[in-house]
Amino acid sequence: MKKYSKILGQITLACLVLIACENPPQEASQSTEENQDSTQLKKVDSVKNETGPVLNANLATATDMASIGLPEDLLAQILEARPFLSMIAFDSLLVDYPDREAVYQQLFVPMNLNTAAEADFKLIPGVGDRMAHEFEEYRPYANLQQFRLEIGKYVDDAMVAQYEQYVFVPIELNTATEAAIKDLPGVGERMAHEFLEYRPYANLQQFRKEIGKYVDEKELARLERLVYLDLAP
């Protein structure tokens, strides 16, 4: 009888071992799930950081905009309405478009970091309540370098560079460095040189007159929103 009891005990122990192998402790399972979640978050961040260049809705060619899949009728409306003097004006044109966020991942009107409403920053893909608040928190921005420094506290360099495509810091015409002028959307070496050439500016009318020698009225209106004059004594 003792012999049979011993055999039965060994069989029971073996069964318990098999059950334990098939059903690992709940804590270990949760740990695995947490690791998977962490990996997925890293993948999401990686995808966000690999987002391509964003076209400026005021500067992109018809060919460029057609290449991102805009329908012909919307493309025609954009070309007719340019320049957009704010992102809100551009957004109002797309108010009935079914997937505006997908468009804004590739086409946007850069926002003035110092004057845009905090709520409007959320039009930028990937910017939610918290990040919109951080954009507003550090105003006024003296330059984009300050934006890089402050927002770099919250996201990596690749994401900061992505955000930069959606914003600008206006420059003071008589004191801005050449580098700061070149940071403006659509302002390259030649136009930066012209900005500097006519300094000091007595008023914005002078800016319109001098820079208007090189660009048409629509482009002049676009450039004027990027600058200001501090004429305080």
d(CA 160, CA 154) in angstroms, rounded, equals 9
Least confident of 37-46, 95-104, 191-200: 37-46
When pLDDT is averaged across residues 55-77 and rounded to a whole number, the result is: 95
> Residue 11 corresponds to which tokens in the numbers above?
């069989």
Please report which confidence band the pLDDT of residue 216 belongs to, taking 50, 70 and 90 as the band edges: very high
pLDDT score of 231: 82
d(CA 56, CA 188) in angstroms, rounded, equals 14
Long-range contacts of range 182-186, CB-CB < 8 Å, 24 or more positions apart? 183/143, 183/144, 184/226, 184/227, 185/56, 185/58, 185/59, 185/110, 185/226, 186/56, 186/58, 186/59, 186/222
When pLDDT is averaged across residues 39-53 and rounded to a whole number, the result is: 42
Q: Report whether 78 contacts 57 (CB < 8 A).
A: yes
Least confident of 19-33, 38-52, 67-81: 38-52
